[in-house]
Chain A
Amino acid sequence: MAYQILGNGVPFWRLIGRGVGVGALLAAVAIYILGITSDPRLQSLREVALDISAPVTGILGAPLRMVRRGADDAGEFLDMAAYNRQLRKDIVGLSRWREVALRLEAENAQLRALNKVTLAPRFDYITAQVVGNSGGAFTQSITINAGRAQGVRAGTVVMDGTAAIGRVVALGENAARVVLVTDASSRIPVQLKPGDIRALLIGDNTARPKLQFLSKPGNVVKGQRVLTSNHGGVFPKGLPLGTVDALVDNVVRVAPSADFRQLEFVRLVIERVDLTIDSDAVLIVRADGRVEQERPARDAEDEE
Chain B
Amino acid sequence: MKALWASVWTVALVVMTTLFGIFLSNVALGIGPVSTPWPRFGIVLVFFWMLHRPGIMTILMIFALGLAQDLVLRDVPGAGVLALMIAALLLDRMVPPLRTLPLVWRWLGFGVFVALVCALEWVLTSAAYLSMQPVDLVLMQGGMTFLVYPVISIALRQVLRIGRAPRRAF
**CB-contacts of A17-58 with B (<8 A):** 17, 20-21, 24-25, 27-36, 42, 45-46, 49, 53, 56-57
Is there contact, CB below 8 Å, between B75 and A138? yes
Q: Give how many A-B residue pairs fall within 8 Å (CB-CB).
A: 194
Interface 9-residue window, one of A96-104, A125-133, A271-279: A125-133
Inside 8 A of B124's CB, which chain A residues have their CB?
32
Residues on B facing A (Cβ under 8 Å): 23-35, 37-38, 40, 50, 54-55, 57-60, 62-63, 66-68, 70-82, 85, 88-89, 92-93, 95-96, 121-122, 124-125, 128-129, 131, 133-134, 137-138, 140-141
Q: Which of B29, B33, B38 has the most CB of A within 10 A?
A: B33
Cα separation A3 to B50 with both chains bound (whole Å): 13
Is there contact, CB below 8 Å, between A140 and B76? no
A132 in contact with B60 given A32-B76, A139-B74 (CB within 8 Å): no
Is there contact, CB below 8 Å, between A185 and B129? yes
Q: 14 new A-B pairs (CB below 8 Å) besides A31-B81, A133-B38? A: A4-B96, A20-B60, A21-B89, A45-B71, A49-B71, A53-B26, A61-B29, A130-B28, A135-B40, A135-B74, A180-B31, A182-B32, A184-B131, A184-B133
Inside 8 A of B133's CB, which chain A residues have their CB?
137-138, 184, 205
Is there contact, CB below 8 Å, between B78 and A5? no
Is there contact, CB below 8 Å, between B27 and A60? yes
Inside 8 A of A49's CB, which chain B residues have their CB?
68, 71-72
Is there contact, CB below 8 Å, between A5 and B88? yes
Q: Which of A49, A182, A206 has the most CB of B within 10 A?
A: A49
Is there contact, CB below 8 Å, between A132 and B33? no
Is there contact, CB below 8 Å, between A34 and B26? no
A57 in contact with B59 given A260-B32, A260-B33, A260-B34 (CB within 8 Å): no
Inside 8 A of B32's CB, which chain A residues have their CB?
140, 180, 182, 207, 260-261, 263
Inside 8 A of A133's CB, which chain B residues have their CB?
26-31, 38
Of B35, B72, B125, the residue contacting A53 (CB under 8 A) is B72
Inside 8 A of A223's CB, which chain B residues have their CB?
none
Of A3, A7, A60, A205, the residue contacting B89 (CB under 8 A) is A3
Is there contact, CB below 8 Å, between A64 and B92? no
**CB-contacts of A234-270 with B (<8 A):** 260-261, 263
Cα separation A65 to B30 with both chains bound (whole Å): 10
Q: Which of B40, B70, B140, B141 has the most CB of A within 10 A?
A: B70
Is there contact, CB below 8 Å, between A6 and B78? no
Residues on A facing B (Cβ under 8 Å): 3-8, 17, 20-21, 24-25, 27-36, 42, 45-46, 49, 53, 56-57, 60-61, 64-65, 68, 130-143, 177, 180, 182, 184-185, 204-207, 260-261, 263
Q: 10 closest pairs, A vs B, by CB?
A: A260-B32, A32-B78, A35-B77, A49-B71, A31-B78, A137-B137, A24-B63, A61-B27, A21-B59, A135-B73
Is there contact, CB below 8 Å, between A139 and B73? yes
Is there contact, CB below 8 Å, between A60 and B58? no
Closest to B25 in A: A135
Of A25, A30, A33, A34, the residue contacting B85 (CB under 8 A) is A25
Inside 8 A of B134's CB, which chain A residues have their CB?
137, 204-206
Q: Which of A6, A177, A205 has the most CB of B within 10 A?
A: A205
Of A20, A34, A64, A205, the residue contacting B77 (CB under 8 A) is A34
Inside 8 A of A35's CB, which chain B residues have their CB?
70, 76-79, 128
Is there contact, CB below 8 Å, between B78 and A142? no
Cα separation A49 to B78 with both chains bound (whole Å): 15
Closest to B141 in A: A137
Cα separation A45 to B67 with both chains bound (whole Å): 10
Chain B nearest CB from A7 CB (Å) reads 7
Is there contact, CB below 8 Å, between B82 and A28? yes
Is there contact, CB below 8 Å, between B125 and A138? yes
A260 in contact with B35 given A28-B85, A133-B29, A138-B125 (CB within 8 Å): yes
A140 in contact with B59 given A31-B67, A32-B79 (CB within 8 Å): no
Inside 8 A of B92's CB, which chain A residues have their CB?
3-5
Inside 8 A of A68's CB, which chain B residues have their CB?
29
A-B contact pairs, 23 of them (CB 8 A): A3-B89, A4-B95, A8-B55, A17-B59, A20-B59, A28-B82, A28-B85, A31-B70, A35-B79, A36-B76, A36-B78, A45-B71, A61-B29, A134-B73, A135-B27, A137-B141, A140-B33, A180-B31, A182-B32, A205-B133, A207-B32, A260-B32, A260-B34
